[in-house]
């Protein structure tokens, strides 16, 4: 026998109250006796005052005690369990949301166990037991409903699908999945929907009507989780590169007070920046401030705490200005070029060199005449710069490690073009460029370069070279802008913008925070032929892996801009490759679990609207079927106990009328 409300056993104290009342009650019998029996009367009085003697031959007392005991038993809702009749078609809806990864359950050995593992164990028992002769439809709650099995009678295949269930860390489609389950059973007469879940649903399925019974099998844990709710960094208003500021919000989603360390790390080396120790009460949150951090490609925050869900204990942040190209411009002075660079959105760091110099003036010049700026750069533009200016070791390293755009040469022989007809190849730099009526007075006599090919020619003479050298983009204009009217034409700002975009393809950008498993529109290079997500760190374990992006390849347009974000939370790098397999750009992204799943205490009773089976006959209206997973299945004894108590009350009245209580 099982009980639906075992706590009602507390009412058993009422039996003690009845006993106390009978013990305190004095009852004397008036009897006329001769005087020689006075002594016996005294003895009888003494005997009558012994407490437990009062309970002898008290039929009314025992009836009242039985009634009180039965009332307590009825309040405990006793049930005689029996095996429920299993429907011929069972639709099993399994919850694999991020909260099901919580390790707040215990297995048969008493070890910690994830909710999803506990759910798999229950599913196996059900499939191998009561549901072994039923048709089984298995539906997974993921980012969209997944029909794993449909009316499957081979239980081995069903068990195989159950074993392959994994956690979905993205947004889960609860309502859509239940709508699918309702549709599959709309015309069924002998079917049942069984939902295996921890009942942590951010959205209810109100408005969906079911034609068959819906039963909920709860997978409820203890609920103990700490999560990083927010984490971000920014440069101060002053723009000081060594004073990056950060802020984080930590929340306690458990029912107990927790103490932990929050460790901030900097860059790929994971250098520890700051460590904060904080104590959080249940349901509370705390804001952490970080100051004077150096500029880095990214920042990490790790909670050093043992809780139910690992995926929300780590977060990453990126500086918001990563999207603008930072350009070092070395020039004698070119107002049109500087204005065009500003229109392109680039951040320009300018170094002015003397305008009256030529190659002969620099023979005895020190190699460190131009100091390399101590700032983070994305590319270098050398506008008619003589080699002696940039022959120091620091300049050679800077040029080797960054994209370089050279405009004009100070050493090459000059030639005058003999034609005004331009040949323009297909190239990202040449988009919307026609060079119509453009005049160039002098060209550098450079017919070829080892690292690239000409993309624009004037007759047989190359005008612009483009290519790569040791993985870095290289661009050369074979003429001095002062020897052409190109800067005066409307195409010039477009040409500069195309050049900056092409040169900056290989620099690092950031995609920010993305939800696991979601679809994101990402701008891709026109030259991209392959896209890959490379996992740098994982929030689940320390393993690293390369996940192929799920995008359709096309010979005409390369890959699609709509990319599916990886399913495992962590830090990723989205890499773009050209047709030759050379990486042309990459971008950092934080892949995070659905924040709504962090609250493991959000467990509400699920309810589903069941259409009365007699509605077709015009008898019924709708009724609400709530979660009855905590109510034991079997024969309810409460009604029978109530009838028996009524019979005992009638018996008690009869005994009282006959006076048999004396």
The residue to which tokens 């390399």 are assigned: 372
Q: Please indicate whether the domains covering 89-223+605-632 and 326-505 agree at the CATH topology level.
A: yes
Predicted local distance difference test score (pLDDT) of residue 628? 43
Of 380, 376, 374, 375, give the one whose Cα is nearest residue 396. 380
- Rounded mean pLDDT for each run of 10 residues along the chain, 662 residues in total: 67 71 60 58 58 56 77 78 76 94 72 85 93 93 94 94 94 93 92 92 80 90 87 75 85 91 91 93 94 90 92 91 78 92 90 64 50 82 87 86 91 88 91 91 93 93 91 91 93 94 77 91 78 91 47 45 90 88 86 91 79 42 40 66 78 65 42
What residues have CB less than 8 Å from 541, skipping those under 6 apart?
none
DSSP one-letter string for 239-295? --TT-EEEEEEEEE-SSS-EEEEEEEEETTTTEEEEEEEEEE-TT-EEEEEEEEEPP
Nearest CA to 204 among 231, 237, 178?
Answer: 178
Question: What is the reported pLDDT for 651?
Answer: 75
Q: Where are the alpha helices (DSSP H) in 513-602?
A: none
Secondary structure class of 45 (helix, strand, coil):
helix
Homologous superfamily (CATH) for 508-596: Immunoglobulins (2.60.40.10)
* pLDDT tens digits, one per residue of 259-302: 999 999 998 888 899 999 999 999 899 999 999 898 888 999 99
Question: Structure pTM?
Answer: 0.63
pLDDT of 13: 73
CA-CA distance, 303 to 539, in Å (whole number)? 11
Structure tokens at 574: 């989205």
> How many angstroms separate the CA atoms of 200 and 218, rounded?
10
Domain locations in the chain as residue ranges: 2-80+637-658, 89-223+605-632, 229-322, 326-505, 508-596
The dotted CATH code for 326-505 is: 3.40.50.880
What pLDDT, on the 0 to 100 scale, is given for residue 474? 93
**Domain 229-322 falls under CATH 2.30.30.90:** no
445: its two tokens: 């006599």
SS3 387: helix
* Strand, helix or coil for residue 196: strand
Helix/strand/coil for 72 = helix
Strands 285-293 and 299-304, sheet pairing? unpaired
Contact present, 136 and 93 (Cβ < 8 Å) = no
pLDDT tens-digit readout, 55-67:
455 666 777 778 7
- In CATH, which superfamily holds the domain spanning 89-223+605-632? von Willebrand factor, type A domain (3.40.50.410)
User: 371: number of CA atoms within 13 Å, CB side?
Assistant: 3
Q: What is the pLDDT of residue 475?
A: 96
3-state secondary structure 419-459: CCCEEECCCHHHCCCCCCCCCECCEECCCCCCCEEEEEEEC
């Amino acid at each position: 026998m099982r009980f639906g409300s075992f706590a009602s056993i507390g009412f058993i104290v009422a039996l003690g109250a009845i006993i106390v009342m009978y013990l305190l009650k004095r009852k004397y019998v008036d009897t006329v006796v001769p005087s020689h029996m006075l002594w016996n009367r005294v003895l009888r009085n003494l005997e009558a005052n012994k407490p437990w003697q009062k309970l002898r031959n008290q039929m009314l007392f025992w009836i009242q005690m039985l009634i009180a005991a039965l009332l307590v038993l009825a309040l405990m809702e006793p049930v005689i369990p029996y095996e429920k009749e299993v429907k011929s078609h069972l639709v099993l809806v399994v919850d694999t949301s991020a909260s099901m990864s919580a390790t707040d359950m215990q297995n048969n050995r008493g070890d910690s166990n994830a909710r999803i593992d506990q759910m798999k164990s229950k599913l196996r028992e059900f499939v191998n037991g009561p549901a072994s002769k039923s048709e089984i439809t298995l539906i997974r709650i993921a980012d969209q409903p997944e029909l794993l099995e449909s009316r499957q009678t081979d239980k081995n295949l069903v068990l195989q699908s159950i074993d392959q269930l994994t956690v979905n860390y993205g947004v889960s489609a609860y309502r859509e999945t239940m709508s699918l389950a309702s549709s599959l059973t709309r015309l069924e007469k002998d079917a049942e929907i069984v939902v295996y879940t921890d009942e942590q649903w951010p959205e209810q399925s109100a408005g969906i009507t079911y034609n068959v019974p819906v039963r909920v099998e709860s997978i409820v844990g203890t609920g103990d989780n700490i999560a990083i709710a927010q984490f971000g960094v920014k440069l101060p208003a002053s723009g000081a590169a060594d004073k990056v500021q950060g802020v984080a919000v930590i929340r306690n989603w458990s029912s107990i007070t927790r103490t932990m360390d929050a460790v901030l790390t900097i860059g790929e080396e994971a250098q520890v920046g700051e460590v904060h120790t904080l104590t959080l009460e249940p349901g509370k949150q705390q804001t952490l401030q970080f100051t004077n951090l150096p500029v880095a490609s990214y920042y990490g925050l790790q909670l050093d705490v043992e809780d139910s869900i690992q995926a929300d204990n780590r977060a990453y942040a990126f500086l918001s200005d990563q999207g603008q190209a930072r350009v070092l411009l070395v020039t004698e002075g070119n107002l049109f070029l500087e204005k065009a660079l500003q229109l392109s959105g680039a951040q320009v760091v300018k170094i002015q060199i003397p305008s009256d110099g030529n190659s002969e003036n620099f023979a005895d010049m020190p190699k460190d005449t131009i100091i390399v700026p101590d700032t983070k750069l994305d590319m270098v533009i050398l506008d008619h710069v003589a080699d002696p200016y940039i022959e120091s070791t620091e300049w050679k390293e800077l040029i080797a490690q960054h994209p370089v755009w050279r405009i004009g040469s100070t050493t090459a022989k000059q030639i005058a073009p003999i034609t005004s007809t331009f040949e323009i190849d297909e190239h990202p730099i040449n988009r919307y460029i026609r060079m119509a009526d453009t005049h160039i007075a002098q060209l550098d006599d450079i017919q070829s370069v080892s690292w690239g090919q000409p993309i624009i020619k004037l007759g047989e003479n190359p005008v612009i070279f483009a290519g790569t050298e040791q993985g870095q983009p290289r661009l050369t204009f074979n003429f001095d802008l002062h020897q052409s009217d190109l800067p005066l034409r409307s195409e010039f700002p477009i040409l500069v913008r195309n050049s900056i975009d092409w040169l900056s393809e290989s620099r690092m950008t950031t995609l920010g925070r993305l939800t696991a498993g979601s679809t994101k529109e990402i701008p891709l290079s026109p030259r991209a032929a392959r896209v890959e997500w490379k996992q740098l760190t994982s929030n689940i374990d320390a393993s690293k892996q390369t996940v192929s992006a799920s995008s359709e390849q096309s010979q005409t347009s390369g890959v699609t801009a709509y990319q599916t974000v990886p399913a495992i939370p962590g830090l990723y790098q989205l890499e773009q490759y050209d047709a030759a397999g050379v990486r042309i750009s990459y971008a950092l992204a934080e892949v995070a679990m659905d924040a709504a799943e962090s609250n493991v205490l959000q467990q509400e009773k699920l309810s589903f609207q069941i259409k009365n089976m007699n509605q077709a006959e015009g008898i019924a209206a709708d009724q609400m079927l709530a979660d009855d997973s905590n109510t034991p299945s079997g024969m309810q004894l409460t009604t029978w106990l109530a009838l028996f108590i009524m019979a005992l009350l009638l018996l008690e009245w009869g005994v009282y009328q006959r006076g048999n209580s004396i």
